[in-house]
Amino acid sequence: MTQATATPGARLLNADDHTLIMIDFQSQMAFATKSISAIELRNNAALVASAAAGFGVSTVLTTVAEKSFSGPMFSEVTAPFPDQTLLDRTSMNTWEDEAVIAEVNKIGKKRIVLAGLWTSVCIVGPALSALDQGFEVYVITDASGDISTEAHERAVSRMIQAGAQPITALQYLLELQRDWARSGTYDLTTGIAKTFGGAYGLGVTYAKSMFGASESHA
């Protein structure tokens, strides 16, 4: 008989077991992104970047043709990493860029989490390439977007069929925290949720303001 134990599943993410790669959050790419609103996209990207920086996740920020064509990376993404060098590429597939791969190998983690623009190009390329090379791949689908809902959904389906695991921005934050008794990151997590967590964040604000509520004291 199988016995349950109070231990997390092996597929759940921890702050120290993966590399986050945030790809091409740039103006030119955002202008034609229609599968998600620009406001929601920027909000979700900011949530992911803030969560990663706050939890100390190994993070790679990469752009494509920043100076000549695509423009600067969203300030919401770069602000949590003030000292980080952006790796600019010519290749549409991040995984074909030697500087990015050198950084991935330097970090040396088997799990890769991806978010960026566009899903069907900038995310499919590295996702399928990393999977081919034996990495576990997670894709933050609501911090990625494409020129149409069809393009985004087909890209996500293609990656899932190849073995990638889809997650959302808020799920990423809460999976890193995972236990409200982790007091060291409690204020960080609820603070990010209040700022970028939409209706959930409003609920946190309301509960704390009205009742002094704290999930860690359930």
- Of the candidates 115, 122, 137, 151, the residue annotated as catalytic is 122
User: Residue 81 in contact with residue 109, Cβ under 8 Å?
Assistant: no
CA distance 76 to 53: 12
3-class DSSP state of 80: coil
Active-site residue flag, 122 = yes
SS3 call for 121: helix
Strand 111-116 with 87-89, pairing: unpaired
CA dist 26 and 89 (Å) reads 13
- If we measure between CA atoms, which residue out of 142, 114, 129, 91 comes closest to residue 19? 114
Token pair, residue 59, equals 């993070």
C-beta separation of 38 from 30 below 8 A: yes
**Separation CA 119–CA 140 (nearest Å):** 10
> For tokens 């390439």, what's the residue?
129
Which residues are tagged catalytic? 122
